[in-house]
Structure formats: structure tokens, C-alpha cells
Structure 1
Amino acid sequence: MTLLADLLSTVFERRYRREASEGAEDGRPLTEMATALVGSAGETSGLALAREILTRFGALDDDEKLAFFRNIASTMNLDPETVRATLDAYEESPSKATYRAFAAAAEPARQEFVRRLNRVPGATGSLVEMRADLLRLGGKEPELQALDLDFRHLFASWFNRGFLVLRPISWESPAHILEKIIAYEAVHAIDSWDDLRRRLEPTDRRCFAFFHPSMPDEPLIFVEVALTKGTPGSVQALLAEDRDALPAEAADTAVFYSISNCQAGLASISFGNSLIKQVAADLSAELSGLSTFVTLSPIPGLTKWLDQVGLTWNTDAPEHMQALAAHYLLNAKSRGDLPFDPVARFHLGNGAIVHAVHADADVSDKGRAQSGGTMVNYLYDLPRIAQNHENFANTREVVATPDVQSLAGLVTLPTTEER
């Protein structure tokens, strides 16, 4: 059945391409074509129209793209009066018909527009790029932020965990995939092919990525893993050129030392939680000796926060740096009483705890600039992840080991007059 489905899909796709290529180019303005697509009833004509919209949109400059987004946001918006009327009708007489009417009124036409664009084979990646343009150009315009919520709503369904495929990335993976791993690495830059090889080929190194069936050559997010004995406290030591590889069977710890989102157009679509849990489960099944799952994570908001509260650091005093970092991770808050640090929000929200803080852990220029070289281990205690996640979601409590709590207690914030 799968082979037959593939053959039929190929036949229909070739037929569609032939019919589309034989058709005359649509000379209407792009916004008029968008309106026509939403009202289109014919499948073949709709596919041709959607393909041309995607092609022409890709050729627009930034000003033209912004004008297109603004037009879609306004002309395909909700009609508040219709929404209110259909909601009143449903409230007065709940039924299949009144609910259908309300559901139709409560969904803006631009969602159906995006769905119809996605009917074109291979269009999902183009729509991800379209949303990246929207995020880049839309700024704080309320109407465009609302339009983005429509993209997010659709993408949350199209890219849910059930559709994602976890693939190991190795030195034997196709070159075009390896090139993208180099390009998308966002935490610890990969300087060369030799550097990439050191992260993929040794027996104590792993890399995993999520892919989507509609974007088989585009990683969505990937994690780099080091298999070690004990918990590491230096990324330079972890990635040293002259280190001796450890037999995988001898490792007791899996270290997630770099997690990189690859697609700007999938911002706020969360994959990291599922990725870490799936990789931890797979590694546990492969290597029975693994008992500890930790990160070695940057602390990107530390320098900014220290400046805000008037604290100074002394990189020549390791315990002082550790104490500042520990206090920051446990006590610095942003909106909603969430941790100030974005990486902390991510891992604590996933059910991890603050395990250990290390000074001189990242002595690169980037590491020094963002956190004075400090890094943190977040511990993923697999049996307790779900409970930790629930506690953090309900109380915002930052759970940490006694050692980290003791370090945090060494710091006293200056008063307003002292700043």
C-alpha cells in the first residue's frame, strides 16, 4: 500500500507540474491572488495559484513583503460582529449547526489562506521562511503580531511531536546535513570540518536532530551529547582537540552541551523538551551504564542582570563568580515570576534542577562576555522530570542542590542608594 501510494503521489505531482507549467502566468496583484485562493473551489487551479503566490512572494523585497503581510492581516481578519452574533446564537441554542457557525466566524480567513498554501508539495518549508520574514519585519505592529499568532497556531499542529522524526547525526551523515549542523550551531561555534568531526566521530560523542517529513533535509533542532565519567565543569575540556575518547560503555553520564534551534520561522514552537527526553530515553536503552543526565549550559543573561542590579564581578575569584551565578539563577526574575535567564527558563520548565555552577567553564570571548566564564549543569532526573515540571509550572520555584543554594546565600544585593 505504501508503494502504491508513493506511485500515485508521483503521478499526480508530475501531472500537476505539467499542467501548472502549461498555464499562463497569473497577472493579478499578489494580494488579489491571495483573496482568490481562499475562495478557490478547484483543486488543480488552487494548487497552481498557491504555487505562484509562494514563488512571487519569495521574489519580493522587504518593503513589498511587509505590505503583503499588512494586507493579509487586515483584509483576512475576523469580523467581530459576526463572531459576537454566532456566539450569542450558540449560547442561546447549543447545537452542531450553531457551533459550526461560531467556529467558522472565530477563525480568520488568513488561517485558511496559509493552509491552502501548504497544499503545494514542499510548501511547508516555504511557509516557515515566510513566518521568519514576518517575525523579522513585523516588529511590534499589533495586527502583524495577531497574524503571527495564526502562523503559530497552525505550526503548533503541523510540527507537534507526533510528526517529528528523531535522527542520529554522525560523521557518515550526508554532507548537506553536516553543513547545516555547522551553520546552525548557536551555542559553541563549529570552526571547521575537523572540529565537527571531533564532535561526531569519537565513540563518546553523539548528536541527534528532529526532522519533519515535509522538510526532510532541514533539521529543526539538534542536540550535541558527550558521554563522560562524572559531571564536567568546562566546555573547553569537553571539546579539547587532544582529549582521549572514552569507550561509550564506560560512561556513566550523558552531557547535553549544546542545543540549537535551526529555523527562525519556528520560534516559540517548542521542540527542546521532547528532544532531550527522547534522547535520554534512547541513550538509556543503548547504554545501561548511564545513570546521570545533565547539561553543561551557558548563562547568557548574567552580565546584563549584574549591570542592572549594580553588582560587579571578579573573574580572578572563582567562588565569587560561582556565588553570583548561583544567586542569579535562583533569585533573578522576569515577567510572570519566571527566571530572568532564558536558558534557565527552558531547562527548569522542562523539569530539570540546578545541579552545579562552575567558574572558568567557558573561557571563550563569548563565554566571558555573557557570564564571566561561568556555566551551569542542569540535572535531568528522569523519574522526577514530570513532577519537577508540574511544580515549576505551578509555583515557579527554582529547585537546586544544597551546594548551589549555599553559594547563592553568599551574595547580598546592594541597596538602591549603594548602586
Structure 2
Amino acid sequence: MKAGILDRTINNLWRVWGEVSNSTLSYIHGGPRPELPPEDLEKVFDKVDKCIDGIGDEASLRSQAAQIGQVYIKLNTDGRRNFLIELGKRYGVDRHKVDASIDSIKQAGSTDPERSLAEEKLRRALEPRWRSLIGRLTTLPEGVKFLVDMRAEMLSLQPKEESLTHLSGDLRVMLSAWFDIGLLELVRIDWNSSASLLEKLIAYESVHAIKSWDDMKNRLDEDRRCYGFFHPNMPNEPLIFVQVALVDGISQNVSELLDETKPAMDPTEANTAIFYSISNAQRGLDGISFGNFLIKQVVEELSKELPNLKTFSTLSPIPGFSKWFSNQINEDASGLLTKIDKKKLSLYSDAQTDEEILTDIFGHIQQKTSYSSETDKELSDFFIKLAAIYLVTAKGKNGKVRDPVGHFHLSNGARIERVNWDADKSARGREQSFGLMVNYLYDLQDIKDNSTSYESDKIVAQSASVRSILRG
């Protein structure tokens, strides 16, 4: 699906940019090979030099940028890597100019206008030369989307090159300015949206795969909502989108939430909105945060449309839990098991040491394909407690929680409300968190205080039930 969308995007750019430049065919004919070997690279960068140096009028420079973009599109992965590395190496910040500008500032002292002129000279010197090419690419039809996809390729290329890291970082700064939250439009997506947009939702969904068009239709039923952020320069491309279920009470199982056989609920009778999937659609915009604004705007939108909604919660994955548990066994298992835990888990392990018991439990839960709340109560109680420990206490050097989904919601002011056993029966859910999921509750009265406490004091907001679990 993603390949199909990419192919159509490339073909469209090739067609549109060909219209921008009448000389494209003569330039491309007999042009660079897909892998862009050194001799071909030099020929291409002769054109890049002229475009960056601004040789010609603005119309011809725009045409040159279109030609360069078309060359890039036709390269294979190796060729694009060679192109991007060379772009980063040749056209970064000119350090000689920077040093000269600093000397000018020192010589000017505090005297105006000499000081102001020297400072302006330094500002210009600190700007990488590749920005000239990037700026001209933005003036082309769908040029912004081209640059977003180009940065996505930079992020995926391995191993990393220093010049590529600088180029990607600077492009992120430029994209951050272009994609300011004030320029974004919140759009509701429903079954009447264009087929091409719905196809992109299927391709970009990153939390719970959309398995079919029937599944897609179910997620857009009358008791469901889907919203996305869009940018004027990419009107047909969602930047990020969230899927919401309107239900009675806080959901604790995603399979039930996505069950296509269940009848739709009257949304005016729902009291809870469950945010069960938030997907970033554009890899090239990594490092630019939209999610916190998206959730807050969707809460406002839903509150206006359906004043009967009183509770706003997520049903979220715990992507780092399984790996963390495995690391605890291998590195330091002490402290995870109480005497009561060992007694309850004796049904699953007759080992004596904490490490051996946890290893047995780890193997046992990986082998199970289904669980029962009755026969597996000891197991479920232990893993719910373990997940709570991970979500609240496993932190990085910066004092923030390690779980990326948890960090996102806690930063936005949510609290950890409840950990759910056997909530995600998918293979991915089993692999990343043994099927456990968590509800993050957005209590509108506490969002600001929770966010401030987490950001400034690293305090993790949690419900009374979670605190009780942690106390054992």
C-alpha cells in the first residue's frame, strides 16, 4: 500500500515538474545512472552549484531546481544516499566566513552601525548554503511534500554520516517553521472522504493495522470519529491522525473496541471518548510535535458536538514493556518479587532465585496463546503490577519515563488510570507487552497541573488504583 502511494507521488511530481522545466528531457537524456557514481555525481552537482549560486533569473533557477528534483526522484537508494551526503558536505556552513564574521564583530566593538552590520554578516554566514536549493524546491508544486519525503529518507539511511545528520537537522528546523501549529487545519475524516485519503489512512496507520475496507468502514461508523491535521501546502496528506471510539465507560480491550460485528452505539448516549490510535503519517516530520495539540483540539471539538461526553481516555499500547522485563531478568532481577509474589507464582515456577522464577514466568507467558481471568489470576495480578512499576518508575537519565507512549501522554497532562490484562490479542501486542494495555485519563481540570508537575518535577500522575497496586 505504501509503495503504491509513493509511486503515484513520484509519478505526479515527475509530470508536474516536467511542466515547470521545458529543458528537462534534454538534461535527463543520457543523464546520471541510478546509483549516481562519482563521475555522474560531478555532472549533477555542476547544476546544483549554479542553482545554489543563483546564476540566472528566478524563473530559470526554479526550472533548474525542478531538474535537480527530477534527477533525485529517478535515483535508487544508493544514488539518493550519495546525492544527500554530497549536498551536506558541499553546502554546509562556511566556517571561514563564520570566523571572519566573528573577527569583524570583535573589531567593531559596541559601536553602531559597524556592530549591527557585522552581526548581520555573521547571521548570513551561519546559514548553510543548501538552504538556497531547499528554498527553491518549496516553490515547486508539491515541493514541500518532496522535502518531507526527502528528510524521511535521510532518517532511514544507515550508517549515518555527519554531513547527513547536519542536513537533516537543519531541514527539521525549516520544516518546524513551515509547519507551525497555527497553520494547520483540523479535519474530520469520515466514510465520505475521498478514497485516496482513506487509502492513505490504511497505509499510515501504525498502532492497530486496518485489515480491510470493512474494518476501515467500522472505524468510521457513527459511534467513531477520526480527525487529522492538514497543512495548506500538503492538502491531500494527513500529518497526524487520531481515531476515537464513543462508548459507555473506559474500554479495556482493543479487540472488543474494533469488533466489526458489534452494532454501532448512539453517540448521544455515549459518556466516554476513547483515543485508541494516534499515528504520525509523515516520517519526515519526526521531531516536530503535533500530537499534544491534536488531542486538545479533538477534545474541544467532541465536547462541543457531544456535551454528553464526560470522560476522555486512551487505550494505549505499552511498547517498551516486554523488552524492559527481559532486561530486568538479565541485569538485575532483585527487588521485583515479594514473598507474596513468589508464593502466588509457585503454580508457574518451582525455582528458588528471583532470576530463575522470572525466567520461568517469562517463558510461560510467551508460550500462552490465551488467558483466563479466573485460572490466570495470579499471573495477571503479577503482570499488571509489573507493568505499573515499568510505567511509573522506569525512567531515563532526564527523569522522564522511558515508555515513549507514556511520556507523550504524561507530557500532555494525562494520568495513568488503569493497566489492562489481555487487552491486545494481536501478535504485535503479545510481542511488545504480553497483551497488556494502559488507559491514560485526560481529566480536563487536572491536565495543566499534571503536565507542569511531570515536566518540572518528573512526577508521574496516577490514579488511586495504580498507587494501590504499586504499594503491593
Question: Residues 392, 318 of structure 1: CA spacing in aligned structure 2 closer, same or farther, 3 A cutoff?
Answer: same
1:355 maps to what in 2?
417
Q: Which residue of 2 aligns with 1:280?
A: 299
Letter paired with 2:313:
V
What's the secondary structure of 1:226's corresponding residue?
Answer: strand
Matched, 1:333 2:395: yes
The separation in 2 between residues aligned to 1:301 and 1:83, in whole angstroms, is 44
Structure 1 pair 19/56, CA: closer, same or farther in 2 (3 Å)? closer
What do residues 93-116 of structure 1 show as CA deviations (whole Å, max 9, x unaligned)? Answer: 364322211111111112232112
Matching of residue 50 in structure 1 with residue 65 in structure 2 = yes
- SS of equivalent residue, structure 2 residue 410: helix
Cα deviation, residue 379, structure 1: 1.4
1:29 paired residue number? 43
The residue type paired with residue 280 of structure 1 is V
For the 8 Å contact 2:17–2:141, the answer to whether it is kept is: no
Which string of whole-angstrom CA distances, capped at 9 and with x for unpartnered residues, describes residues 18-55 of structure 1?
67226773478222222221221521011101111111
**Letter of the 2:173 counterpart:** H
Which of 68, 76, 79 is matched with 2:83 structurally?
Answer: 68
Q: Distance in 2 between matches of 1:319 and 1:116?
A: 59
Amino acid at match of 1:20: S
Quick check: 392-401 or 205-214, which moved more?
392-401
Q: Give the aligned partner of residue 197 of structure 2.
A: 177
Does the 8 A contact of 2:21 with 2:67 survive in 1? no
Q: Distance in 1 between matches of 2:314 and 2:450?
A: 16
Change (3 A) 1:229 1:49: same
User: For 2:442 and 2:159, how far apart are their aligned partners in 1?
Assistant: 36
Instruction: Summarize the Cα distance change of 1:31–1:391 in structure 2 as closer, same or farther, 3 Å threshold.
Output: farther
Q: Which amino acid aligns with 2:75?
A: L
Cα distance in structure 2, aligned partners of 1:16 and 1:265:
21
Query: In the TM superposition, what is the alpha-carbon distance from 1:57 to its structure 2 partner?
Result: 0.2
Q: Specify the alignment match of 1:255 in structure 2.
A: 274
| Residue 246 (structure 2) pairs with residue 227 (structure 1) | yes
Q: 2:147 aligns with which of 127, 130, 139?
A: 127
Indicate how the Cα distance of structure 1 residues 107 and 138 shifts in structure 2: closer, same or farther if over 3 A, else same: farther
Q: 2:435 aligns with which of 358, 364, 373?
A: 373
Structure 1 residue 318 corresponds to structure 2 residue 333: no
Relative to structure 1, the CA distance from residue 148 to residue 404 in structure 2 (aligned partners, 3 Å threshold; closer, same or farther) is same
- Match for residue 449 of structure 2? 387
CA distance 1:32–1:338, shift in 2 (3 Å): farther
Deviation at 1:121, TM superposition (A): 2.0
Q: 2:209 & 2:282 partners in 1: Cα distance?
A: 17
Contact 1:16-1:44 at 8 Å conserved across structures: no
Q: Deviations over 1:306-350 (max 9, x none)?
A: 000116356532211211110000011224222111111111122
Cα distance in 2 for partners of 1:210, 1:56 equals 31
Shift of 1:256: 0.4
Deviations 1:61-106 (A, max 9, x none): 1222111111111111112343244245446336432221111111
Q: How does 1:282-321 map to 2 (within 5 A)?
A: 282-310=301-329, 312=358, 313=361, 315=365, 316=376, 317-321=379-383
1:218 aligned onto 2:233: no
Q: Which amino acid aligns with 1:45?
A: S
- Aligned identity (percent) is 41
C-alpha displacement at 1:384, in angstroms?
3.0
Structure 2 spans left out of the alignment, 5+ residues: 1-15, 32-41, 334-357, 366-375
Q: Is the CA contact (8 Å cut-off) linking 2:18 and 2:66 kept in structure 1?
A: no
TM-score (norm 2): 0.79
- Aligned residue pairs, count: 396
Residue 112 of structure 1, aligned match among 132, 135, 147: 132
- Name the structure 1 match of 2:470: 408
Task: Give the alignment partner of residue 167 of structure 2, picking from 147, 152, 173.
Answer: 147
Task: Give the Cα separation in 2 of the matches to 1:23 and 1:232.
Answer: 56
The one-character-per-residue Cα deviations of 1:262-303 (angstroms, maximum 9, x if unpaired) are: 112112221111111111111111111112111100001000
Q: Which has the larger radius of gyration?
A: 2
Greater CA deviation, 236-245 or 351-360? 236-245
Residues 138 and 144, structure 1, Cα contact 8 Å, conserved in 2 = no
What is the rounded CA distance, in whole Å, between the counterparts of 1:324 and 1:197 in structure 2?
37
After superposition, the Cα gap between the structure-2 partners of 1:309 and 1:262, relative to the gap in structure 1 and judged at 3 Å, is same
Cα RMSD over matched residues? 2.2
Q: Which amino acid aligns with 1:373?
A: G
Deviates more, 1:317-326 or 1:294-303: 317-326
CA distance in 1, matches of 2:306, 2:19: 51
2:315/2:440 contact within 8 Å kept: yes
